[in-house]
Amino acid sequence: MAENRSARDTDTRETTKRRAAWVPPQTLPTPNPQPGWAFRWIRTSIMGQADPTNMSAKLREGWVPVKAADHPEMMYMGSDPNSRFKDGIEIGGLVLCKAPSEMVEARKEWFDRQTESQTEAVDNNFMKTNDARMPLFNEKRSGVSFGKGSK
């Protein structure tokens, strides 16, 4: 019989575990989720120059800078000493902001409708020159066909 076999109790999960793969760290950390709120990093400066136009537009949309005290998991992040948002979380010209989830969803739906409307307008303009004798393209639908294969 085989006498050089190892005992089964020495084969544990820890001895057969794979080495963990290294992944690069995130440049911008993700805050712990809060129900009813969406988070987004918003640009405050670009190439070292302040960008008040972008920030004021986002504030008018309803985004509010997040207070560092509300997110202790992100307190270790170094904040910009020249930031306009002293109690906020700012990294590399981006400030962490939050907005109600309903507002974010409504904004997404509005942009979806705008995109659909513009796509329809482009299609209608293109189809004005369509001729039944030589159609420009068929309806937008896809199908699946199966080959007979070889015997």
Q: Which helix (H) or strand (E) holds 91?
A: strand 90-91
Average pLDDT over residues 44-65: 91
How far, in Å, CA of 115 to CA of 51, rounded?
27
Mind listing the pLDDT tens digit for each residue in 65-115?
998 888 887 766 656 666 677 788 888 888 999 999 999 999 999 999 999
Mind listing the pLDDT tens digit for each residue in 103-144?
999 999 999 999 999 998 888 887 777 777 766 665 666 677
Placement of tokens 């942009």 in the chain: 111
How far, in Å, CA of 98 to CA of 110, rounded?
19
Placement of tokens 């911008």 in the chain: 28
How far, in Å, CA of 59 to CA of 88, rounded?
14
Residue 99, pLDDT score = 96
Residue 10, pLDDT score = 63
Domain regions of the chain by residue span? 37-100
Residue 144, pLDDT score = 75
Q: Above 60 in pLDDT, residue 1?
A: no
